[in-house]
A and B are shown apart, each in its own frame.
Chain A
Amino acid sequence: MLSDLFFRVRSLFRRKAVETELDDELRFHFEQQLAKYVNSGLTAREALRRARIDFGGLDQVKEECREARGVHMMETVFQDVRYGLRMLRKSPGFTAVALLTLALGIGANTAIFSVVYGVLLRPLPYQDPSRLIVLRETTPKVGTVDVSYPNFLDWRAQSRAFSKMAAVSSVAFNLAGPGSGLDQPENINGAAVSSDFLSMLGVRPMLGRNFDASQDQAGTAPVVLLSYPLWQSHFGGALNVLGRTVALDGRSFTIIGVLPPDFRWIEKIDLLEPIGVKAEDPDFNERGERGDMVVLGRLVPGVSFAQARAEMEGIAARLAQAYPGTNDQFGVELRPIREVFVSDLRPAVLVLSGAAVFVLLIACANVANLFLMRGASRTKEIALRIAVGASRSRIICQILVESLVLAFLGGLLSLGLAFAGIRGMARLIPVDMLSGASVSLNGPVLLFAAGVIVLCTFVFGLAPATHSTKPDVQSELKESGRAMSGSIGQGRMPGVLAIAEVSLALILLVGAGLMMKSLYRLLSVDPGFRPDRVLTMNMSLRTAQYAKDPARMNFWQQVLAGVRALPGVEAAALGTVVPLTDNHSRSDITLEGMALPKPGSFPHPDIHIVSPGYVNTLGIPLQRGREFTDADIGTAPQVAMINAALAQRYFAHQDPIGKRLMFGRPSAKRAPEWITIVGVAGDTKLYGLANPARLEVYVPFRQSASSDMTLIVKSGTEPAALTSAIRTAIASIDKEQPLFGVATMQQLVDNSVSTRRITLILLGVFGGLALLLGAIGIYGVLAYSVAQRTHEIGIRMALGARGGDVVHMILAQGAKIAGAGVLIGIIASFGLTRLMTKLLFSVSPADPATFAAVAIVLVLVALLASYVPARRTLRVDPMIALRHE
Chain B
Amino acid sequence: MPTQHVDLPQGTLDLLILRTLALGPQHGWGISERVQQISSDVLRIQQGSLYPALHRLERKGWIKPRWGTSENNRRAKFYELTKSGRRQLEVEEDAWKKLTAAVAQVLGTA
Contact = CB atoms under 8 A, between A and B. Distances in A.
B77 A61 contact: no
Main SS at interface, chain B: helix
Contacts of A28: 27-29, 70, 74-77
B56 to A, nearest CB: 4
A373 B48 CA distance: 39
A64 B49 CA distance: 9
Given A21-B77, A28-B27, A28-B70, A54 B47 contact: yes
B53 A61 contact: no
Interface string A48-63: 0000001111001100
B45 to A, nearest CB: 11
B29 A32 contact: yes
Contact of A61 (B48, B70, B72, B75): B48
B53 A68 contact: yes
Contacts of B61: 3
Contacts of A592: none
Main SS at interface, chain A: helix
A65 B46 contact: no
Instruction: Tell me which of A32, A57, A64, A65 has the highest count of chain B C-beta atoms within 10 A of its own C-beta.
Output: A32
Nearest to A54: B47
A472 interface: no
A36 B33 CA distance: 10
Contacts of B27: 25, 28-29
A747 B31 CA distance: 92
Contacts of A21: 77
B24 interface: no
Interface string A64-104: 11011110000000000000000000000000000000000
Instruction: Tell me which of A7, A25, A33, A36 has the highest count of chain B C-beta atoms within 10 A of its own C-beta.
Output: A25
A68 B47 contact: no
Interface residues of B, number: 21
Contacts of B28: 25, 28-29
Given A4-B59, A28-B75, A55 B47 contact: yes
B51 interface: yes
A67 B59 contact: no
B5 interface: no
B1 to A, nearest CB: 15
Contacts of B59: 4, 7-8, 68-70
Nearest to B30: A32
Contacts of B108: none
Contacts of A69: 55-56, 58-59
A35 B73 CA distance: 14
Interface in A107-156: none
Given A25-B28, A29-B29, A68 B55 contact: yes
A406 B85 CA distance: 45
A56 B56 CA distance: 19
B63 to A, nearest CB: 12
Contacts of A7: 59
Contact of B48 (A31, A32, A33, A60): A60
Nearest to A64: B52
B30 to A, nearest CB: 8
Contact of B51 (A3, A24, A25): A25
A65 B52 contact: yes
A242 interface: no
A26 interface: yes
B82 to A, nearest CB: 12
B55 A65 contact: yes
B104 to A, nearest CB: 32
Interface string B58-73: 1101000000001010
7 A-B pairs closest in CB distance: A68-B55, A64-B52, A68-B56, A32-B29, A68-B52, A25-B77, A29-B29
15 contacts: A24-B77, A25-B77, A26-B51, A28-B28, A28-B29, A28-B75, A29-B28, A29-B51, A54-B47, A56-B47, A60-B48, A65-B51, A65-B55, A69-B56, A69-B58
Interface of A: 3-4, 7-8, 21, 24-26, 28-29, 31-33, 35-36, 54-57, 60-61, 64-65, 67-70
